[in-house]
Structure 1
Amino acid sequence: MKIFAIYSSKGGVGKTAGAVNLSYSAAQCGHRVLLCDLDAQGAASFYFRVRPGKKFNGKKLLQGGLKKFIRASDYERLDLLPAHFSFRNLDLVLAKLEEERRRLALQKLFKPLADEYDVLIMDCPPNLTLLSENIILAADSVVTPVIPTTLSLVALKQLLKLFRKVGAKEKRINAYFSMVEPRKVMHRDMIAQYEQYAIFRKVQIPYLAEVEKMGLHRQPVAAVSPASIAAKQYTSLWLEIWNRSIGG
């Protein structure tokens, strides 16, 4: 099982859109996929119309035995571990664990799922916390959307700093430009300056109405508009990230 974390310390960069659409693309490519919604806001869960069970919360998440909390989506080969509002306190729960377990709690939780799924994708909250360290250490690949603006690039530099702090290898980062508007000079200039760096993937996600309308349809873009540019770009992005992950 390959684990992918859709993560950035900055909000509003397209993390949840990425998690939802990449999960759908992976399932459409034939993989057995589990999307774990770790953001207390539960946007990914909202898009897939899935609610957590009444007995599920942040403490139960970290206790393990996740299979009983997983829910099927409306799409073949795609399941969801829904978010719970109590996830906002996950850092407090992690801090109470023994020191040697604190940063590896998620890694331990996901191991029993390895025979059930080919791909596990985490939709992550925009934090720089103990949970963030857990996410990085549990993931085979950290997929980070970057809007071609100054603050989004600052968030990318924070991610690189966090990778160094926990001793993770930077080659596990898959950055991609998100919400790109080619008519904007800043976007064109930023992309031209940074796209040659090894952590950036070639595929870019444009700023398009189809992605904005996900909140209305509560479905992945490709489920509503399979022939749209947005759907094709997310599929291409998934294939680029997946092929890189299996290529070492």
Structure 2
Amino acid sequence: MAKKISFLNIKGGVGKTSLIVNMGACLAYMGRRTLIVDLDAQSNASIWLMRLDRWNTLNRAPEKFLLHLFRDQNAKLSDCIQKSPIRDTDGEEMLPRLDLVPASFTLMDLEHEVPRKEGQPFYVRFFEALKSVEDEYDFILFDCPPNFFYSTQCALFSSNHVLVPSNPDALSIIGFHLLVDKLSRFKSDTAAHRKQLSAPTPDIIGVALNAVKPGTKIHVPLERFNAQIDRFKQQGKVAPMTHIYPDLVRHSVTVGRAVMMGIPTVLMSKQDASINLAEDYIKLTKHLLEQLGDPEPDEEEDGE
């Protein structure tokens, strides 16, 4: 069964999408069958992985996007999956083990314009739909918006773990505190449904420092961050495994170029001066695998 991880931070602007796209690509590159589910109406992960032209073309078929799953009770999640969305200019697959459930801007309609079936919250509908495909993957990663609205609830209800992209600053520490409180309340509010459906209980697995600029003094923020995590552990609000990952991801303009090219940095390293940044994502992904007790990954030269 797939390991399901929500990438979530209540604070925006922390590079959440760049982290999930690149870590998802690293997992696939290391041989793990990986599905990224874009639950953010901004659709940044979808546009990055599909490129804007293909994403625009797909918009003519709304049944291929995640919102359709909630509009039509007969819809299947498998109908939304874009197999191997990362393609070269000739349309050839570049990373076969990475698939995508894309979002479009219409996903914001889930909040106010899509009627809910009585007794079935959206997160229950999503959880049941996900079961039909999760055995096909080793990892399913959810790209969440920076809030606790319906789409985020769908991700959390289905997740085993929450990974928190963050920056080493005071605002991120405040955002983490808010996230822990809201996650605790969500787990309490959904306890009955989780018990009924044998759904997992999501716990924060770690904090990943992302887009850290050169020269940034992170010693003091890290001390405060770690102190807060220790307090939450004593209060039973976070799991014993929760910690700040030792391998941070450096800030780089390479990310912008990767978005324009429609590929993750792990593939860019062969054709662009981005080897160091790709190594940051690879180290972070290896740490996650080790933490989850996954065997040591074997990187593949061509990603196939």
Using the size of structure 1 for normalisation, the TM-score is: 0.88
How far does residue 170 in structure 1 lie from its aligned partner after superposition? 7.1
CA distance in 1, matches of 2:265, 2:3: 23
1:178 aligns with 2:178: no
Question: What residue identity is the alignment partner of 1:5?
Answer: S
- 1:152-191 map, 5 Å: 152-167=172-187, 171-185=203-217, 187-191=218-222
Superimposed CA distance per residue, residues 11-57 of structure 1 (whole angstroms, 9 cap, x where no aligned partner)? 21011101110110010111111111111121111111252461324
1:142 aligns with 2:173: no
Match of 1:238 in 2: 285
- Is the Cα contact below 8 Å between 1:133 and 1:162 reproduced in 2? no
- 1:191-206 map, 5 Å: 191-195=222-226, 197=229, 198-206=242-250
- Is the Cα contact below 8 Å between 2:164 and 2:204 reproduced in 1? no
CA distance in 2, matches of 1:55, 1:119: 26
How far does residue 231 in structure 1 lie from its aligned partner after superposition? 0.7
CA distance in 1, matches of 2:176, 2:205: 10
Match of 1:55 in 2: 62
Report % sequence identity: 24
Match of 1:217 in 2: 261
- Aligned pair count? 246
Match of 1:7 in 2: 8
CA distance in 2, matches of 1:66, 1:228: 35
Is the deviation greater in 198-207 or in 162-171? 162-171
- Is the Cα contact below 8 Å between 2:67 and 2:103 reproduced in 1? no
1:99 to 1:162, Cα distance in 2 relative to 1, 3 A: farther
CA distance in 2, matches of 1:192, 1:223: 35
Match of 2:147 in 1: 127
Unaligned residue ranges in structure 2 (runs of 5+): 88-94, 189-200, 230-241, 295-304
CA distance in 2, matches of 1:110, 1:93: 22
How far does residue 126 in structure 1 lie from its aligned partner after superposition? 1.5
Superimposed CA distance per residue, residues 145-172 of structure 1 (whole angstroms, 9 cap, x where no aligned partner)? 1111122222111110112102276743
- Aligned to 1:121, what secondary structure does the other structure show? strand
Using the size of structure 2 for normalisation, the TM-score is: 0.73
CA distance in 1, matches of 2:213, 2:67: 41
Unaligned residue ranges in structure 1 (runs of 5+): none
- Is the Cα contact below 8 Å between 1:94 and 1:131 reproduced in 2? no
Superimposed CA distance per residue, residues 179-206 of structure 1 (whole angstroms, 9 cap, x where no aligned partner)? 2135133x33212332474332222111
- 1:39-54 map, 5 Å: 39-48=40-49, 49=51, 50-51=54-55, 52=58, 54=61
Larger radius of gyration: 2
CA distance in 2, matches of 1:97, 1:244: 38
- Is the Cα contact below 8 Å between 1:21 and 1:234 reproduced in 2? yes
Question: What residue identity is the alignment partner of 1:191?
Answer: L
- Aligned to 2:62, what secondary structure does the other structure show? coil
